[in-house]
């Protein structure tokens, strides 16, 4: 209800920016269909990154240090993962890249893409603010339920603003064994009252019991496959069991509270080996 009230006043007072979609990386996107699907389901897929852009990001990822479990003191190149895991006593479920757009022109170009900005504008009801990006690996590893919870591998939803939108792109091929993203369709608008009150991680059994297995959307696709999602929906990443997964997130909202970017002072970044 709060979202609808705020959207009414925003739309009445906003002068919308026009984005030149002819300059977009993306082709053949039906924006109206994306918006309709987002409003109904909270998620819309089929936004595909060109192969050369995927390769540029992969080149960056394999030649730049990532940071285990998001800790600036655990820097390593991804080919060093096994050595780091043997040295570090806690399991490495994920590894993130800091300052990604500053160091990878392909990511910088995606965050400024006119098609993404146009979709975000129409969905948010206002000219969007780019909050930040996140490029990260999800690794094949054994872990406890507590570890999985911290790595966002249990159902949860986000509260980054009263309206926000994220775009996700797989940079590696993702099937059921390689860490697919999972969304509970429609839960950006409809949740049980207790779920609105308690912002926490939830087990699969409770979510399926509450919203039905038919609401669960599991997203698989080749490298470059992308989707837009209002992550007020319940969602999670399945832990990969065969191959590691690399994914990119681009986020927009109406307000920037300085909490959703990957920027860090480089003096704080330390290699572990």
Structure tokens at 62: 């394999």
d(CA 93, CA 109): 28
Q: How many CA atoms lie within 13 A of 270 on its CB side?
A: 6
Q: What is the SS3 assignment for 165?
A: strand
pLDDT higher than 80, residue 33: yes
User: Is 230:43 a contact under the CB 8 Å cutoff?
Assistant: yes
Sorted by where each starts, the structural domains of the chain and their CATH numbers stand as: 30-256 (2.60.120.620)
Tell me the DSSP string of 212-272. -GGGEEEE-B-TT-EEEE-TTS-EEEPPPSSS-EEEEEEEEES---S-S-----GGG--B-
Q: What stretch of H or E contains 66?
A: strand 66-68
Distance of CA 11 to the CA centre of its chain: 26
Query: What per-residue confidence (pLDDT) applies to 89?
Result: 80
* Angle formed at CA 107 by CA 106 and CA 111, multiple of 5 degrees: 120
Query: What per-residue confidence (pLDDT) applies to 3?
Result: 52
pLDDT higher than 70, residue 75: yes
Q: Which residue has the higher pLDDT, 16 or 114?
A: 114
Residue 5: pLDDT band with limits 50, 70, 90: very low
d(CA 193, CA 197): 7
Query: What per-residue confidence (pLDDT) applies to 240?
Result: 96
Q: What is the mean pLDDT of the chain?
A: 93
The structure's pTM equals 0.93
> How do residues 36-63 score in pLDDT, each as one tens digit?
999 999 999 999 999 999 999 999 999 9
Over residues 126-140, mean pLDDT? 97
d(CA 98, CA 134): 8
């Amino acid at each position: 209800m709060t979202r609808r009230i705020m959207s009414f006043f925003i739309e009445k007072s906003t002068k919308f920016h026009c984005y030149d979609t002819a300059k977009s990386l993306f082709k053949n996107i039906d924006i109206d269909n994306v918006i309709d699907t987002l409003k109904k389901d909270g998620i819309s897929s089929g936004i595909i990154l060109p192969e050369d852009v995927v390769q540029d990001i992969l080149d960056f990822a394999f030649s730049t240090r990532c940071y285990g479990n998001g800790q600036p003191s655990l820097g390593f190149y991804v080919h060093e993962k096994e050595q780091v895991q043997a040295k570090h006593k806690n399991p490495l479920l994920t590894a993130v890249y800091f300052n990604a757009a500053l160091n990878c022109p392909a990511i910088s170009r995606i965050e400024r893409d006119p098609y993404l900005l146009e979709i975000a504008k129409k969905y948010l009801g206002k000219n969007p603010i780019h909050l930040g990006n996140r490029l990260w690996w999800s690794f094949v590893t054994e872990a406890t339920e507590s570890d999985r919870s911290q790595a966002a591998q249990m159902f949860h939803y986000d509260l980054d603003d009263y309206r926000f939108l994220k775009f996700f792109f797989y940079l590696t091929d993702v099937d059921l064994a390689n860490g697919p993203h999972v969304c509970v369709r429609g839960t950006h608008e409809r949740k049980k009252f207790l779920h609105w009150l308690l912002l926490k991680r939830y087990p699969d059994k409770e979510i399926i019991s509450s919203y039905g297995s038919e609401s669960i959307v599991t997203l698989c696709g080749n490298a470059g496959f992308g989707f837009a999602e209002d992550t007020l929906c319940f969602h999670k990443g399945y832990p990969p069991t065969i191959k590691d997964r690399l994914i990119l997130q681009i986020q927009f909202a109406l307000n920037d509270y300085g909490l959703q970017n990957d920027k860090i002072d480089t003096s704080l970044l330390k290699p572990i080996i």
